[in-house]
Amino acid sequence: MSAKTPSRTHQEALADYLDELLHEDPAPTESPREVAGSATAPEHVPDPVASKLPEATRWSELSAVPEPEPEPEPEPEPEPGVALSCGRILPDDERYYRFVVGGLNLAIPAVRVSAELAPEGTFAGPPDALVRTLNPPSGSPLPVVDLARLMLPPSAPALQRPLAERATMLVVLDDGQWAVSAEGAGSLETLDVEQVCWRGDRSARAWLAGTVAERRLALLDLDALAGMLP
């Protein structure tokens, strides 16, 4: 029975860290549509219907992305929504890709996700680096941000294992330009941005765009993460 104690201790420590992460917002950014008399946000958001992205089974499928078409038609103006501190505008019903890293529920805009890929090949670079390079059997090298090493406390047991063991899935972003590590496949869901507490002070943890404390969910700023790439 005593063998289970370390596991409980780790889970409690992780829960405390997650609570701190979700409630750390000394200067939240107010929504432009937070006006007197506005409708109350729903008390509960239904669990996501797992609408999974198609998983690429071969790295060549990712590498063989065709050249972009000539200049596309101009996109319509974005709908009014909530402004992130980095300047991007999110429509009211933005679809997000949700996944898990080190016990943390994370979400990123689904429009940035290109594919889910089980890593093949070897990771280059120092084992403790935040950004590693995956050299697949075929195709171009892929920069990968190790989210567990970025977000978890250094003492987290998960960090004692190499990235190749922890990252059972990679979330490929921005037409195959880079990726972030994940633990298993994610799912697509619609997020009510009215429930998001957008972070106003981005001096620390610039990668954290906002949180949904009720759902124990952290929203990542992909632009800040991309800025870490070499």
pLDDT, tens only, 98-142: 999 988 899 999 999 999 999 999 999 999 999 999 999 988 999
191: three-class secondary structure by DSSP: strand
As a whole number of angstroms, the distance between CA 174 and CA 65 comes to 12
- Residue 78 belongs to a domain: no
Strand (E) or helix (H) holding 210: strand 208-212
Q: Where are the alpha helices (DSSP H) in the chain?
A: 5-23, 59-63, 147-151, 163-166, 222-226
Q: Flag whether 3 is in a domain.
A: no
**Domain presence at residue 143:** yes
Could you tell me if residue 192 is inside a domain? yes
**In terms of Cα–Cα distance, which of 62, 36, 51 is closest to 115?**
62
The verdict on residue 2 lying in a domain is: no
Q: Give residue 176's pLDDT.
A: 94
Q: What is the radius of gyration, based on Cα positions, of the chain? A: 19
pLDDT digits (tens, 9 = 90+) for 168-198: 999 999 999 999 999 999 999 888 878 889 8
Q: What pLDDT is stored for residue 65 in this prediction?
A: 44
Residue 125 in any domain: the answer is yes
Per-residue pLDDT at 82: 35
Structural domain that includes position 104: 50-57+84-230
pLDDT in tens, 190-223: 888 788 898 876 768 899 999 988 888 999 999 9
Sheet holding 104-109, edge to edge: 187-192, 93-101, 104-109, 217-220, 208-212, 197-198
Is 177 a domain residue?
yes
Structural domains counted in the chain: 1
The pair of structure tokens assigned to 81 is 């929504």
Residue 39 lies in a domain: no
Out of 1-5, 91-95, 96-100, give the one with best mean pLDDT. Answer: 96-100
Backbone angles phi, psi at 143, to 5 degrees: -70, 135
What percent of the chain has pLDDT above 70? Answer: 58
Entry pTM: 0.68
End-to-end CA distance of the chain: 47
